[in-house]
Structure 1
């Protein structure tokens, strides 16, 4: 006999969960370091300056941080729904009231996100800014320690942090004045092929930090007094009026080396990410582009549940190491790993040579997307812009599946936003008689299916390249082709369909627009359809001739161009 109805049982369950959540929230936050808001910021800066001078540290910036504590958390989780954690160890708890705790949200054991029930483990560290030392009692900061080294070798004064991982700490003073002696930042990367191209970061792969689902390795930065180098690089048109873009579509990188899918031609012992990286590096060295555009599905989210950044840093390493400016848009798989679209975007925007940006209207709820932006370039002698590039987030899967099943689309609000920015800002700077423009997105718009001419129904629209698989454009048409026409876009390029690499000259709007596929580049994504070799598309703008040219290269024959075609001549999209 049931004592309580299902309705009351649910109420009791929700109440118990709420009380439990409140209890653990109070438990975890009761030791949080208080924030001192009493002093005015200007006063703080002046105190910091005086303190630095007194301690012969005037060459340091007060905003520099250093690690004063490390620790680990052990957690029990139920899927991704519930995770309860407790601090298992920390080197120097409550070192200073101004310390900021940073949790590296990457499960060392590789259980969270993979198992329904399990034990997860995380590391955290506390940082202190040099500026905050000025408001710390001398008796306190004279006893403070900072992390000097982390290794698998035990020394006399080392603490054991994780099994067979030892931390050595030193007094902050006088060691603070020594460059590259005190650690300022920490990260964990996964997979035997992981890399860290971020300037100043040192990835130590001589020993494994932890052996979970994938081996993990410690990456760290040392404190130094030099000002942060400017790793932005202005995108410029060459003196000869040209700009070359390499498009990298559907790389599908993983944590670890990844598995090859539909490799063609087949080989023994194929490793997806290393093979794709060799292809990318070969193309970059041959073409020497001015800009690289990643058009979505850089990483295969389901294979990055443990850590999306480990896979993404592998993708971006070739361009960062070559100091090539790069832009990026997201696909339908990037956000399926450990980081959502918003966190991926924040991480990406801060990387060296990144031109990626988040607009004021961007959202993380799929209503507007993340990464809708414009790049405008002018030549060395021109006052007006001669090239404009548009980037759109095409989202992932339709939220109106019963009415419009399949993939999502660029929203009307996004198209309208670009029109507004064009009218209010960018159109004023365009050289009307010498301007070229392209747009990039991941999922093709419906007009990629416009094989039949709209203006001449008995004719086929010109097409160059391979049409091998069904075009997976959304079922709903948000009218983007008319906005592209309004913006003066000459050509678009997308990814998503790995085995299509054609360009088609669409005549749906008042002016013709070339709609191109990049073609799949990564061995970690599907291919098939009778055998499809990975390929990379290149675009070259010539602002003096008002022309755009495009061609492709195959993984197995890097030195040979194919499907070379001028898609714009004299400022007009046409077919020759």
Structure 2
């Protein structure tokens, strides 16, 4: 492991038997890690509970700001806020993920678009639970951008672990990772939560144009860079670090999975047909397959990837194994009362619960509806198909 003299001191060195190195007539040299591997120096470390568990609750497609000009729209925001308060009070997660389409940006006005972020943050701030977010196609619109939403989020709470990262480009800044440690003073994390920005929507301003609906190819090299750095300083991830990945629009490979879905093996609502616009790079023939570099790099470099999790398609909530990469893909549950829906679909969240920091043990996941009903409970391990 390299030795540096000008970086932050490692936490937990003693547990690894490492010692400061000293030479005669010289100041001690301290083993350290790059600042890139300590992305939250001013925030508390996220950790598993003392009993070894860690619970993630995912709100997806909240769609605040829908029909802002009439009575119906604001009432849906009231309903969505109620759902968030109800779920957080009963589930008490350790971490929250907002997985895209926080706002129906095309229905907002320039002067009030980011105010809806404050409404979304209110239940989270009240519950005092750390969180992070991805952004979706409805979060890039004429009067709102992913960057503006993230900036508003970061300026109105101390609980956010979202980061602005240029890896994905101007309209896809929300590509980053969040470390979760088994214990506060551990040297390396036990779990990495990856967030990827799938862009889409339209560019801001009067002369807006359609944006690409996929994770940019540039992110592939970023994944390789980040995982290489992690392996260099923390050691190989094979037996030490698990991972979850979040991206709002599903990777294009999921469309073939849907075509062979088994409702017995893969429980959960399956009411949305996957076609044009429902997965990455499916909007136009010219974009077909352009998320492949991301998909290849993610699965080649991120080890112990328990699941890749998306929203976007409100009528789906199933999990299934994507055979080309041998990785489990899951849909979220449509949480917000804004956005399209249908009778009987309901509104709720996806929960993911780790029973141990051991990355060889898959977490349990299920759908929880606002009223408390649970369904589609499975374990994200090698036995799940």
Q: TM-score normalized by structure 2? A: 0.75
Distance in 1, matches of 2:213 and 2:99, equals 16
Structure with the bigger RCO (C-alpha within 8 Å, sep 6+) is 2
Distance in 2, matches of 1:388 and 1:258, equals 42
Secondary structure of 1:547 counterpart? coil
Distance in 2, matches of 1:431 and 1:544, equals 13
1:281 to 47, 64, 85: 85
Deviation at 1:371, TM superposition (A): 1.0
After the TM superposition, which of the residue ranges 245-254 and 354-363 deviates more from structure 2? 354-363
Distance in 2, matches of 1:297 and 1:458, equals 26
1:453-464 to structure 2, matched below 5 A, reads 462-464=265-267
Secondary structure of 2:308 counterpart? strand
* Partner in structure 1 of residue 322 of structure 2: 506
1:354 to 151, 160, 172: 160
Note if 1:537 corresponds to 2:350: yes
CA contact (8 A) 2:190 2:357 kept: no
2:311 to 481, 495, 520: 495
Distance in 1, matches of 2:263 and 2:346, equals 27
Secondary structure of 1:302 counterpart? helix
Distance in 1, matches of 2:48 and 2:83, equals 26
* Partner in structure 2 of residue 522 of structure 1: 336
Distance in 1, matches of 2:264 and 2:60, equals 24
Distance in 2, matches of 1:412 and 1:336, equals 22
Change in CA separation of 1:434 and 1:361 when aligned onto 2, cut-off 3 Å: closer
* Partner in structure 2 of residue 326 of structure 1: 131
CA contact (8 A) 1:398 1:409 kept: no
CA contact (8 A) 2:173 2:197 kept: yes
Deviation at 1:526, TM superposition (A): 0.5
CA contact (8 A) 1:329 1:393 kept: yes
Deviation at 1:383, TM superposition (A): 3.3
CA contact (8 A) 2:245 2:309 kept: yes
CA contact (8 A) 2:336 2:347 kept: yes
Deviation at 1:232, TM superposition (A): 4.1
Unaligned regions of 5+ residues in structure 2, if any? 1-40, 204-209, 283-287
* Partner in structure 2 of residue 239 of structure 1: 50
After superposition, what is the alpha-carbon deviation per residue over 1:151-200, rounded to whole angstroms, capped at 9, x for unaligned?
Answer: xxxxxxxxxxxxxxxxxxxxxxxxxxxxxxxxxxxxxxxxxxxxxxxxxx
Distance in 1, matches of 2:104 and 2:218, equals 28
Runs of 4+ more than 6 Å apart: 457-461
Note if 1:553 corresponds to 2:368: yes
CA contact (8 A) 1:505 1:574 kept: no
1:336-355 to structure 2, matched below 5 A, reads 336=141, 338-350=143-155, 351-355=157-161
Unaligned regions of 5+ residues in structure 1, if any? 1-229, 262-269, 400-404
1:566 to 355, 359, 379: 379
Deviation at 1:407, TM superposition (A): 6.5
Deviation at 1:423, TM superposition (A): 0.8
Distance in 1, matches of 2:253 and 2:232, equals 25
Structure holding more strand per residue: 1
* Partner in structure 2 of residue 449 of structure 1: 255
1:291 to 95, 103, 111: 95
1:379 to 147, 169, 182: 182
Distance in 1, matches of 2:367 and 2:214, equals 27
Secondary structure of 1:451 counterpart? helix
2:229 to 424, 428, 433: 424
Distance in 2, matches of 1:376 and 1:257, equals 41
1:118-267 to structure 2, matched below 5 A, reads 232-254=43-65
Distance in 2, matches of 1:338 and 1:234, equals 35
Change in CA separation of 1:541 and 1:333 when aligned onto 2, cut-off 3 Å: same
Give the number of equivalent residue pairs: 319
Q: TM-score normalized by structure 1? A: 0.51
Deviation at 1:275, TM superposition (A): 1.1
1:435 to 237, 241, 262: 241
Secondary structure of 2:380 counterpart? strand
* Partner in structure 2 of residue 13 of structure 1: none
Deviation at 1:506, TM superposition (A): 1.3
Change in CA separation of 1:282 and 1:447 when aligned onto 2, cut-off 3 Å: same
Secondary structure of 1:336 counterpart? coil
Bigger radius of gyration among the two: 1
* Partner in structure 2 of residue 396 of structure 1: 200
CA contact (8 A) 2:168 2:218 kept: no
* Partner in structure 2 of residue 414 of structure 1: 219
1:466 to 237, 262, 269: 269
Secondary structure of 1:321 counterpart? helix
Q: CA RMSD in A?
A: 3.0
Distance in 2, matches of 1:378 and 1:433, equals 14
Distance in 1, matches of 2:146 and 2:339, equals 20
Distance in 2, matches of 1:446 and 1:462, equals 21
Secondary structure of 1:562 counterpart? strand
Distance in 2, matches of 1:244 and 1:426, equals 26
Distance in 2, matches of 1:258 and 1:289, equals 34
CA contact (8 A) 2:257 2:320 kept: yes
